[in-house]
């Protein structure tokens, strides 16, 4: 084997070790190529290695990874390019997101201090206006939904029948007062008679004492023999007459005193009659006053049904009255009143006036759930029991309610009570 063949074998072996399957395919086709190399490189040194044939490009995993990174760089470059092109928009968006996050955090920190419910309504002690006497309405001086002040006349009933009754009661009163005056005069006369009887008693007692002394002297003279029996008998008779006269005057005094007691009893009866007549007069005056219906407190006329010329019975409703004193009954869940106390501030929002806030405070909390005071309270001790969160009414009072709005019972509100 000559030197050229050895070089060809070395070249084929070197290509095979480098190129794998491509090298082997290249080595298979090297016979003609080696011949050309021998001719063209016959003068080259034996140690010089022939140039390696061109190898086809092999897509290796490293190249694929480089391609992927290049794609990512292109994509990243697109985002960075968008940011560079729309820098103002990106800054505004970032600021808006930060502000929204801060506002959300502040809202949550503030909202956690409040308890709210949509089961809340405006409440008041509205009542029906009804006459206390019967008669025809001669005047109705109010209209629907009118605001009235205390003392405002709502309606009038024909007062003539009750005026006549008043005059009659006054006449009866005058008669009883005259009877009392008559009894008083009799009492005065009887007291004079009693004084006269007392004087007669005193006189009779004095005559009795003198007659007794005369009778004793006459008796003493007879015993001495200086007087006559006839004189002694005469003095004894006078003494006995004086005794009878004294008893008679004393009896007359007792009778006069008893007559005075009878007259005083008659006066008490006359005074009682006078008081009854006075009560009748007072009642008649009240009835006359009841013919005029007035407002007892500030409020509004609602559902007016009375009309002029209408005949109304005592107790018949002619209108409803809603006082100005209004509050909110909020039915909170029993789990919401843990930290709720009277005096806490409340923000009240009325559905009729959206976006408007009214100040108020907690007035009181009902000691019990709403169902406990209903007409048919729940009987949890019977049947199957299912625990349900109960509602507890809480009274909320307005602070400085403005006068440019119209509120009434039953209107829906949403209160926010600060409990923490």
Q: Walk along the chain (420 residues) and give the pLDDT tens digit of each residue.
A: 444 443 444 443 343 444 444 434 444 444 444 433 434 344 444 444 444 444 444 444 444 444 544 544 454 457 777 777 777 888 888 889 999 998 888 777 666 778 999 999 999 999 999 999 999 999 999 999 999 999 999 999 999 999 999 999 999 999 999 999 998 888 888 888 888 888 888 888 888 787 778 777 777 777 777 777 777 777 778 777 888 888 888 888 888 888 888 888 888 999 999 999 999 999 999 999 999 999 999 999 999 999 999 999 999 999 999 999 999 999 999 999 999 999 999 999 999 999 899 999 999 999 999 888 888 888 777 778 888 899 999 999 999 888 888 999 999 999 999 887
190 and 241 belong to one structural domain? yes
d(C-alpha 398, C-alpha 89), whole Å: 47
212 and 256 belong to one structural domain? yes
Q: In the numeric block, which tokens belong to residue 179?
A: 């009877």
| Nearest-10 Cα torsion for 336, 340, 344, 346 | 20
Instruction: With CA atoms as reference, report the closest residue to 288 among 174, 156, 171.
Output: 156
7 and 74 belong to one structural domain? no
204 and 233 belong to one structural domain? yes
166 and 153 belong to one structural domain? no
Full-model pTM:
0.61
189 and 306 belong to one structural domain? no
Q: In the numeric block, which tokens belong to residue 341?
A: 């106390």
d(C-alpha 221, C-alpha 235), whole Å: 12
330 and 352 belong to one structural domain? yes
Check: CB of residue 168 under 8 Å from CB of residue 316: no
241 and 254 belong to one structural domain? yes
220 and 268 belong to one structural domain? yes
Q: In the numeric block, which tokens belong to residue 74?
A: 């292109």
Domain limits at 26? 1-55
Q: Going by C-beta distance under 8 Å and a sequence separation of 6 or more, which residues neighbour residue 368? A: 392
Q: In the numeric block, which tokens belong to residue 24?
A: 């082997």
151 and 171 belong to one structural domain? no
- What are the angstrom distances between the C-alpha of 108 and each of 101, 111, 113, 115, 185? 11, 5, 9, 13, 92
- Tell me how many domains the chain contains: 5
Check: CB of residue 190 under 8 Å from CB of residue 260: yes
């Amino acid at each position: 084997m000559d030197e050229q063949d050895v070089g060809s074998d070395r070249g084929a072996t070197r290509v095979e070790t480098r190129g794998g399957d491509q090298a082997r395919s290249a080595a298979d086709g090297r016979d003609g190529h080696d011949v050309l190399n021998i001719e063209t490189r016959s003068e080259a040194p034996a140690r010089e290695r022939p140039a390696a044939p061109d190898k086809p490009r092999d897509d290796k995993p490293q190249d694929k990874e480089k391609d992927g990174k290049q794609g990512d760089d292109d994509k990243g470059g697109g985002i960075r390019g968008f940011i560079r092109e729309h820098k103002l928009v990106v800054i505004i968006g970032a600021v808006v997101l930060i502000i929204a996050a801060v506002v959300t955090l502040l809202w949550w920190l503030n909202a956690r201090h409040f308890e709210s419910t949509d089961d809340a309504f405006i409440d008041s002690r509205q009542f029906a206006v009804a006459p206390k006497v019967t008669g025809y309405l001669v005047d109705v001086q109010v209209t629907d939904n009118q605001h009235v002040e205390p003392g405002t006349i709502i309606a009038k009933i024909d007062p003539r029948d009750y005026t006549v009754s008043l005059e009659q009661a006054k006449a009866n009163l005058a008669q009883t007062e005259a009877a009392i005056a008559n009894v008083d005069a009799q009492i005065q006369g009887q007291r004079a008679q009693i004084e006269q009887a007392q004087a007669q008693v005193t006189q009779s007692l004095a005559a009795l004492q003198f007659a007794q002394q005369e009778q004793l002297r006459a008796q003493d003279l007879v015993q001495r023999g200086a007087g006559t029996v006839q004189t002694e008998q005469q003095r004894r008779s006078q003494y006995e007459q004086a005794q009878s006269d004294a008893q008679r005057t004393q009896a007359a005094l007792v009778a006069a005193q008893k007559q005075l007691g009878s007259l005083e009893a008659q006066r008490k009866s006359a005074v009682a009659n006078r008081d009854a007549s006075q009560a009748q007069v007072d009642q008649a005056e009240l009835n006359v006053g009841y013919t005029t219906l007035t407002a007892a407190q500030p409020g509004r006329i609602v559902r007016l049904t009375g009309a002029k010329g209408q005949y109304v019975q005592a107790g018949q409703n002619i209108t409803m009255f809603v006082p100005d004193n209004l509050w909110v009954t909020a039915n909170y869940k029993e789990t919401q009143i843990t930290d709720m106390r009277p005096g806490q501030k409340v923000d009240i929002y009325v559905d009729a006036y959206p976006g408007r806030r009214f100040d108020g405070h907690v007035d009181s909390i009902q000691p019990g759930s709403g169902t406990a005071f209903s007409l048919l309270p729940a009987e949890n001790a019977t049947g199957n029991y299912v625990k349900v969160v109960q509602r507890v009414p809480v009274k909320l009072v307005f602070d400085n309610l403005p006068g440019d709005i119209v509120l009434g019972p039953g209107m829906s509100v949403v209160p926010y009570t600060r409990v923490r």
